[in-house]
Every structure is written in C-alpha cells, then in structure tokens.
Amino acid sequence: MSDTTMAKQILLTRRSPHYWRVTINHPPLNIFGPDTIPQLNEIITALETDEEVKVVVFDSAVQGFFLTHYDFLAKLEDTTRQSPGPTGLQPLPDMLVRLSRASVVSIASIRGRATGVGSELALACDMRFASREKAILSHFEVGAGVVPGGGPMARLPRLMGRGRALEVLLGADDIPGDLAERYGYVNRSLPDAELDEFVDALAIRIASFDKQALSETKRFVDVASLPPDYEIAPEWDVCLASIMRPAAQKRIKMLMGRGFHKPGDVENRLGYHVGQLGR
C-alpha cells in the first residue's frame, strides 16, 4: 500500500519502498517561492538518507504547469535570509546539486510548463521525459531583465551544446516538447497519452535493479557530466542582484501589468509576452 503525505505544496507517494513519486501541487500555477524551499529540502533529504529508495519521479498535479518560475511577489529577504545548504551553496542551487548527485535515480515527467525553476529542477534530474503536446520548457528570465539563478548556464551547454543553450537562455522563448527532444533538453517527448505509462514502466524497471549497481554507475556518469559547484554558485548571487536592477524592475512591473503571476495568457505564453516588453 502506498504511503502518502501532504506537505502543503508537495505530495510524496511511496509506490513501493524502492519507487517514490514527488508531485508538485501548488495551484493555480505551481509557482516556486521561499516557502517551497524547506518543503523541497525535506524531500531531497529523505531521498539522500533512505536506504531502500532507488528511483524517484517528479511530476505535477496542476493542469498546464509542471513547475514554473520563482515567486516575484515574495519579499526578497524571505529568500536571502535562508541559510546555505550542506554543499555550502544557497538553498535552491544546493538542493538541485544534491538531487543530481544523490544515489537515487531521478526522473522528471513533464506535462505543462517547466519554466525558470521548473526547468532547473528538470535539468537537475537524471532524466527528463516530456508530453509532446503539452510540455513547454523555457528560461524566460533574460526577457524580464533577470539572470537565471538555479544552474541552467552550467547544465544546458552540457546537454545541448553552446549555441542551442544560448538560444534557449538568450532567446527566452518557449520550447515545446518535440523541439526540446531534438535539442537534447529532454531525453524523449512522447504522445501525452503514453507519457505516464512509459515513465512508470521505466521507474518500475529501474527500481527492480540492485541499488549499489545503480548508484555506482550513476556516480561515474556524474564525474563525466555534472558541472562543478564553482560554476553553479555565482549564478544565484547574480540572479538576486539582477532582480533589483532598474531594468529588471521595469520589465517585471510591465509583466505584472499584463497579468504575470495570475492564471491567464501571460503565464500560458510567457515566452511570447517577454518578447513584447521592449517593442
């Protein structure tokens, strides 16, 4: 029987001792804020310390949104006053680095928008699978005058190459699931009706294997592919500083006036709307 606990915005379901699901459930938009940080940290810590779990799948309970951008309405000090994590990095990049390096195999099942932090969480996972019809990945931040902060500049070029990474980051536009697959942003895009069955079958298959063999194999892949902390650490500091610059404040205010942070067209087509701000 599954053991399910609700921690406000995050639902943890133990499908078995070896296979967990983490479902983001913060309607209406799955916005990530400072109050989400301790909740995600609790999940990451459990993944690091549980002796039996082998695979975890991250998904969403909110239609249209896997996980979206950081909370621009929250007070900045609610974020900056939080202590660094065990890696010495600030809380968000700390958790993403720990997830990447955990012995557990992590999979992002992306249906809806994975924007900003949502993309960063997906990139921190070991594998990403996307709904061909309904997944949108993006880093809109530069279009809002902000530098991304959760490690995408360190991770994306390793996945898709420099040119495509710059297209994603500097173009600040929406990347649909089929293009994300071609670019290497995700492992595969699948027809929406097949996504859940495919991811579940893969997770069950991995969960049936020996944990030591899984973790040791992943550790060697990590050596060849994960960015070092010194590449990730400065991104968060520069991100927070960029938010306070007049250019960013002006653009964020314009987005707010159009309906940013509310259900509607701006959140549904964020890439389009940030592209209109300077015109």
Contact assessment for residue 105 and residue 56, using Cβ atoms and an 8 Å cutoff? yes
In this predicted structure, the answer to whether residue 191 has a pLDDT above a threshold of 50 is yes
In the predicted structure, residue 3 carries a pLDDT above the cut 70 = no
pLDDT single digits (tens) 117-176:
999 999 999 999 999 999 999 999 999 999 999 999 999 999 999 999 999 999 999 999
The stretch 212-224 carries a mean pLDDT of 97
Q: How many CB atoms lie within 10 A of CB 89?
A: 20
pTM: 0.96
Give the E-state strand segments of the chain in sequence order: 3-7, 10-16, 19-24, 55-60, 65-67, 105-115, 127-138, 175-176, 188-190
Percent of the chain clearing pLDDT 90 (strictly above): 96
Torsion of CA 78, 81, 82, 87, to 10 degrees: 140
Q: 128 φ, ψ to 5°?
A: -135, 130
In this predicted model, what pLDDT tens digit does every residue of 35-68 receive, in sequence order? 999 999 999 999 999 999 999 999 999 999 999 9
> How does pLDDT run across 261-271, given as a tens digit for each residue?
999 999 999 99
pLDDT score for 279? 82
Q: Residues 199-221: what's their mean pLDDT?
A: 98
Among residues 277, 271, 273, the alpha carbon closest in space to that of 140 is found at 271
Domain annotation for the chain: domains and CATH numbers:
3-194+210-274 (3.90.226.10)
